[in-house]
Chain A
Amino acid sequence: MSIISTHGLSKHYSGLRAVNNVDFDLPDGQVRALIGPNGAGKTTFVGMLSGRIKSSAGSVSFLNTDVTDMPAHKRMSMGMAYTFQITSVFANLSVHENVALAARRAIKGAPSVVNNKVMSVLEQVYLADRTDQIAGDLSYGHQRLLEIGMGLAQSPRLFILDEPTQGLSASEVDGFIELVRVLSKDTTILLIEHNMDVVMRTAHYITVLNFGEILAEGTPAEIRSDTDVQTAYLGTT
């Protein structure tokens, strides 16, 4: 069963085709990486998936529902979660409240239920000892983790991560990879990633975007051996 799919999805900015006629399908339970050179339209594409960006043409279907005209917040409450490319946390609020805000929207239970969820998420993202810290005071890496935690707290069906490892240290990246492996048991993950090591170690399947169009799709091994991809993106590596 596919969790999200697009048909002919396009975004045109005054003549520029940022995303053009993309047919995309993500099956339930998969970890999918979306890669491509800078300016390939990756962020625009997931922007349209999440509803942050209005599409110019085509349709998006999430959990077998056409969500093309649905505002972002409704898609989120249907079970999507999204982390920003540029870290975006509630800088003046505590770590706990950051995660609680995410959890509260998804869980309609009593404060204690929310609290339990928050604590378990903070454990997962290695921030359990920093609950009362102000989010803005966290190191960059911890803020990235917090952002992922906010996504987790929503218990999403689909988790979209926009360059989650950007700026993380090597050990933090390892931690992240471990996290994705654990998460992938319950959640479908769509990952925009530049770090090919992360992609190869986590993704079940890879979609390559180039000039707003899908250049190739396949398993990590297939993508690695695809000559088109190599010329367009991977170069000689």
Chain B
Amino acid sequence: MNQAARSVVLHGLVIALLVAMFFVLPEYHSGNLARILVLAVFAMGYNVLFGYTGLLSLGHALFFASGMYGLGLSIQFLSASPMLAIVIGLITAVVVSGVIGFLALRTTGVAFMIVTLMFAQAGFLTVLFFGKYTRGDEGFVIQRAQRILFGVDLSQPLPRYFAALILFAICLCLIAWMVHSRFGKTLVAIRENEERARMLGYDIQRHKLMAVIISGTMSGAAGAAYALLFGYAGASFAAVQYSILPLLYVLLGGAGTTIGPLIGTVFMFYLIDISSEYTDAYLLIAGLALILLTLFAPHGIAGILRKKLAWLP
């Protein structure tokens, strides 16, 4: 099989497996999986920038929140239909990531980390500042009646799961396609050796900006989906932890791989969920796991897989 065919088979299998999971898993785990799929979209968005382009952002909570509030506030105050609200959420994410990307990309390296962090922090505080509309840290509930998309009640387990899966599948296919496209390969070139890529004639800034926008929009889509599927928007999602979270997911799963973000999200979610049953100090276990992983599996879980299967995209 050539690379493209392998990629189609692999990603097809992943999606088929996820479809089957809903019918196989007990209610609790399929519920978790719906959430994980949304968070994995967030991680995949992050991966576009970090894993493929080599830009470490500490401000992705802002993009997630852009989608979340774009959707949430338009439902709350404009009585927008869910479909319109999704569109507004995505547009918000595109605009926010475009502006932030345009500004932040004037910097590189650690300065880029800090600038994105600062913008995200300013975004978080802005959500609090406009507490009159956003209800600040408390956030607001999006009622069940407002979450009916094309007559499907997204608060129900089956529609929720498949809505999450459809979003995930779209993003996975987009990324799988991107990886094999000129654009994706150019991003990798920028990650590997920016100056060389520039001297081959590639417009680095334009590619990076595109990467920020794609990454930010995907993260925003995850934020919008989270609000729509789980009925809540709140400022904690704009806080700095939610910028670090996708970084952890991606690093754990394997940066620069298509399925790494999903693996990392699943791993992290269940690490906390399971260890929290045994001890309050589950973050201690999470911390130890992170240290051990960096010591013994520096390229994440997909990195280990890749040693066996070098073709893994």
Contact = CB atoms under 8 A, between A and B. Distances in A.
B201 A89 contact: no
B29 interface: no
Contact of B201 (A92, A97, A154): A154
A88 B195 contact: yes
A6 to B, nearest CB: 19
A106 to B, nearest CB: 7
A101 interface: yes
A91 B193 contact: yes
B193 A72 contact: no
Contacts of A80: 201
Interface stretch (B143-151, B183-191, B237-245): B183-191
Contacts of B204: 73
Contact of A97 (B185, B198, B200, B202): B185
A104 interface: yes
B10 interface: no
B27 interface: no
Contacts of B185: 97, 100-101, 104
A93 B193 CA distance: 10
Interface centre among A90, A91, A100 (most CB of B within 10 A): A90
A77 interface: yes
B196 A105 contact: no
B199 A92 contact: no
Contacts of A50: 199
B202 A89 contact: no
Interface in B167-212: 182, 185-186, 188-189, 192-193, 195-204
A106 B189 CA distance: 15
A101 B201 contact: no
Contacts of B195: 84, 88
B201 A105 contact: yes
A90 B196 contact: yes
A165 B103 CA distance: 41
Nearest to B188: A93
A100 B182 CA distance: 10
B193 A90 contact: yes
A75 B199 CA distance: 9
Contacts of A101: 185-186, 189, 197, 200
A102 B192 contact: no
Contacts of B192: 90-93
Interface in A161-220: none
A73 B196 CA distance: 10
B283 to A, nearest CB: 34
B193 A73 contact: no
Interface in A87-125: 88-93, 97, 100-102, 104-106
B189 A73 contact: no
Contact of A73 (B182, B188, B198): B198
A84 B195 CA distance: 10
B196 A76 contact: no
Contacts of A150: 200
A82 interface: yes
A105 B202 contact: yes
A89 B198 contact: no
Contact of A89 (B182, B188, B196): B196
Contacts of A104: 182, 185-186
B61 to A, nearest CB: 30
A84 B197 CA distance: 12
A52 interface: yes
A210 B109 CA distance: 37
> What 4 A-B pairs come out closest when comparing CB atoms?
A76-B201, A77-B201, A90-B192, A88-B196
Interface of B: 182, 185-186, 188-189, 192-193, 195-204
26 contacts: A50-B199, A72-B199, A73-B198, A74-B201, A74-B203, A77-B201, A80-B201, A88-B199, A89-B196, A90-B189, A90-B192, A90-B193, A91-B193, A92-B192, A93-B188, A93-B192, A100-B185, A101-B186, A101-B200, A102-B200, A104-B182, A104-B185, A105-B200, A105-B202, A106-B201, A150-B200
Interface of A: 50, 52, 71-77, 80, 82, 84, 88-93, 97, 100-102, 104-106, 150, 154
